[in-house]
Amino acid sequence: VQTPRSPTRLSVSSLVRTSFSPRRASQSIQVQTPRSPTRGSASSLPWTQQSTACGSPSSPVCTPRSPARSVERHRSVDRARSVSLSSPVSREFRLSRSKLGESLKVIDAPSPSALSTRAPSVDATSPQSLAHLTSPAAKGSPGRSSSPTRAGSVPPRTGSTSFLNVQMARSRSRCRTDSLRSVSPPAASRRSVSSAQLVGSTLGADPPERRMYDVNCVLQLMRHQAELDMKVEEAKKIIAYSLSVEDLFHEMDRGHKGYLTDIDLWTYVRNIGADIVLGSITTLISEIHLRLGPDHAFAPGRLSMRELAILIFPVKSREHELAFRAASDNDLLNKLNPGRLGAQPGAVSGPVRYKFRSFLDWATFVAEALAADRRQLRHLRCDETAALNDTFSFLACGRQSFSLEDVRRAFIDERVNASTQQLELLRRRYQPLSLGGGVHFSEFVRQLRPL
């Protein structure tokens, strides 16, 4: 038997210690390599023990069972895969081989059944494992999650994104020139414009397609306003007509001041289980003030009984119309309940409080979305004021005001889809009292500029 060249492998001659007789000294010992060893089968073992060699039962002699291949031929193959250990002296070899495998990090040793024993390696320092680690930004700061909400903050809401990020991309291929048929520049040209150019741009310096692009974005914002107003009208059906605005107003006005502040409304909804921050209540009150006429006097951060009725009653209801046309809260009470002026208000039931809480959650969500849409106008290609001027000129066609028919025509020209109900809600927003003369520029800008 020839000794392997590798210094890390053990010699077979060192394992088989046998005293040979002179008659068998010239006989060479060959090793048979098994082709397909199986576990537990005695016939498949390449070594058989002979107890009559040299008359010593403790000295086994290994004889081949069939014509064997030379070990020299398999020297290039890992000998740890080809040697089956069935001899009694192989116990020491098995121990030494296990130590050698640990030192060499051998993880691919074949099993007796010719199946691989390689375990799936998981390396925590590999680039693949690092890709699955969560960044600190994704986990969130524990201090931020536990910090109290400030009065002017807006609660985060999942799933609500600004419409201009989507609508501006959709309308990019539909923007027109003065002939309403050209295509807007690609997104790469939009990114190349610096912020100084956006702020310092004028109507004469901007190309026509860029100006029509901003006009289309403003029209998309108007359509989104009508869509959000429809959601509020759907939420008003929760309250129906089972709510007494007088009883609700006096229950929230604990100090009997005659008006509600944002803190009064926030404290009331918090006590009945609503998770609404103070900043959302303030945004909602400002949105209610926008729905009133330009000649309506109001105090910032305060809500009267008439404004509360405008908030909770549907736009086509009698109570909503009376609240719009009432001169004061007493005038509204006298019109709603004739002869009950000065009566003691009643208590609000538990189901009515629950319905009001659900409605207010929807109303604050819509108010935040509308405020976010107005802030997106600052990211237009042209100046915000220039975009509003171009949009008003496009709607009014050179006149001092525009009507509902002008809005419908502009939506059709710019391919802005809006239903009849949405157009009616736009009319009530921009022209709440249904007066003649159309929508003027001051009211148009008032509804679109950030608060």
Query: What does the pLDDT look like over 368-427, one tens digit per residue?
Result: 999 999 998 888 877 888 899 999 999 999 899 999 999 999 999 999 999 999 999 999
pLDDT at 206: 62
Residues 227, 79 within the same domain = no
* CA distances for 99 relative to 94, 104, 279, 411, angstroms: 9, 9, 69, 81
Residues 188, 211 within the same domain = yes
Residues 297, 374 within the same domain = no
Helices (H), 27-181: 79-82, 90-104, 127-131, 136-139, 142-146, 164-170
352 falls within a domain? no
Residues 171, 309 within the same domain = no
pLDDT at 366: 95
pLDDT band at 10 (very low <50, low <70, confident <90, very high): very low
29 falls within a domain? no
Q: Which of 419, 416, 373 is nearest to 395 (CA)?
A: 416
pLDDT at 7: 47
Residues 331, 186 within the same domain = no
308 falls within a domain? yes
Most confident range, picked from 28-32, 86-90, 114-118, 369-373? 369-373
Rounded CA separation 392/399 (Å):
9
pLDDT at 420: 92
The vertex-397 CA angle with 392 and 398, nearest 5°, equals 90
Rounded CA separation 419/415 (Å):
13
Residues 236, 256 within the same domain = no
Residues 250, 340 within the same domain = yes
pLDDT at 342: 59
Residue 402: φ, ψ to 5°: -130, 160
Rounded CA separation 445/395 (Å):
13
Neighbours of 14 (CB within 10 A): 10
355 falls within a domain? no
Q: Which residue has the higher pLDDT, 117 or 264?
A: 264
Residues 202, 253 within the same domain = no
Q: Are 247 and 333 in contact (CB under 8 A)?
A: no
Q: Are 413 and 219 in contact (CB under 8 A)?
A: no
Phi-psi region of 202 (alpha: psi -120 to 50; beta: other; left: phi over 0): beta
State pLDDT tens for residues 207-238.
778 888 899 999 999 999 999 999 999 989 87
The token duo for 282 is 């303030």
The residue out of 324, 347, 370 marking a domain boundary is 347
Going through 187-288 in order, the beta strands assigned E by DSSP cover: 260-261
88 falls within a domain? yes
Residues 173, 82 within the same domain = no
Most confident range, picked from 16-30, 64-78, 419-433? 419-433
pLDDT band at 92 (very low <50, low <70, confident <90, very high): low
Q: Are 319 and 309 in contact (CB under 8 A)?
A: yes
Number of separate domains in the chain: 3
Most confident range, picked from 41-55, 61-75, 338-352? 338-352
Going through 28-177 in order, the beta strands assigned E by DSSP cover: 49-50, 61-62
Q: Which residue's entry shows tokens 């039931």?
A: 349
The residue out of 298, 316, 347 marking a domain boundary is 347
Report the chain's mean pLDDT, rounded to a whole number: 67
Q: Are 221 and 261 in contact (CB under 8 A)?
A: no
pLDDT band at 329 (very low <50, low <70, confident <90, very high): confident
Residue 89's domain spans which residues?
74-110
Q: Which of 217, 223, 166 is nearest to 421 (CA)?
A: 223
Residues 236, 272 within the same domain = no
215 falls within a domain? yes
319 falls within a domain? yes
Residues 210, 248 within the same domain = no
373 falls within a domain? yes
Domain CATH code at residue 267: 1.10.238.10
pLDDT at 221: 95
Q: Which residue has the higher pLDDT, 291 or 242?
A: 291
pLDDT at 241 over 60: yes
pLDDT band at 12 (very low <50, low <70, confident <90, very high): very low
The residue out of 322, 347, 372 marking a domain boundary is 347
Residues 251, 319 within the same domain = yes
